[in-house]
Chains A and B, each alone.
Chain A
């Protein structure tokens, strides 16, 4: 009975949404944002339109996004029990897993660096690179490689906040020196974006790994 009502409601909603999606997709978009971005791409300091939008034209959204991530990371880590954040014991004696980690972790670090650099002229960027960094960290935790930098301390605090605070600093300096909030100096926009993206990558990697560590199963902690 209940499942039947839910099915009917879902079908009804789907039936209403489908024509709307088709109508939106087939509508004339007017001034194409794509051409607008392409004409201004040279002024942005990077060659890839997506990075130009994320880090320059709509940098405000990215600033708020990393702000939300920092708050989520700090909240998640402070809610975790103290035992969860401690260094894990060597969890497995599986030689294959260790060999795999030894091959994969350096490759993942290299891939993260490449993704970060690629963001200036092709698909890539801080969020993807940060996620790969975090995945490398997860692998290190799982195989019991030392991850002292994620333990509570100055390294963790600095890592969590570096991306957001430097981004905010650049934005505020822009406002204080007479340009708009978040407006980069025209000649420095390329290097500034690279610096912000690098720190964002480190921060995002640390926040995501921190959330993983905070949520990890408590082996022996409460059993």
Chain B
């Protein structure tokens, strides 16, 4: 029962972070939500008994992609201020 509850909560959290990241007007906010989405996704890989994928998702999907996206956002901001 507890496991089912956890899974349902995980799915709801995944859907809400994903849609919030897509619908967010603020790019920085969207990236932070994307990182949160990546961490939740790695939790769901653990629930699906795929720890290898969970590690890769947390390290590459959430961590490094998040850093690169944050960099891109700050780059855009700098350009917008110059214009």
Contact B59 A125 (CB under 8 A): no
Q: Closest residue to A133 on the B side, CB-wise?
A: B59
Contact A135 B68 (CB under 8 A): no
Tell whether B16 is near chain A: CB-to-CB under 8 Å: no
Given the complex, which residues of B lie within 8 Å of A160, measured CB to CB? Answer: none
**B interface, over-half SS:** helix
Checking B51, B56, B68, B82 against A215 with a beta-carbon cut-off of 8 angstroms, the contacting residue is B68
**A interface, over-half SS:** helix
Contact B55 A123 (CB under 8 A): yes
Given the complex, which residues of B lie within 8 Å of A124, measured CB to CB? Answer: 52, 55
Checking B51, B52, B54, B59 against A135 with a beta-carbon cut-off of 8 angstroms, the contacting residue is B59
Given the complex, which residues of B lie within 8 Å of A127, measured CB to CB? Answer: 56, 59-60
Contact A211 B63 (CB under 8 A): no
Q: Please provide the chain B residues from 16 to 65 with a CB less than 8 Å away from any CB of chain A in the complex.
A: 51-52, 54-56, 59-60, 63-64
Tell whether A62 is near chain B: CB-to-CB under 8 Å: no
Instruction: Give A215 to B73 CA distance when docked, in angstroms.
Output: 11
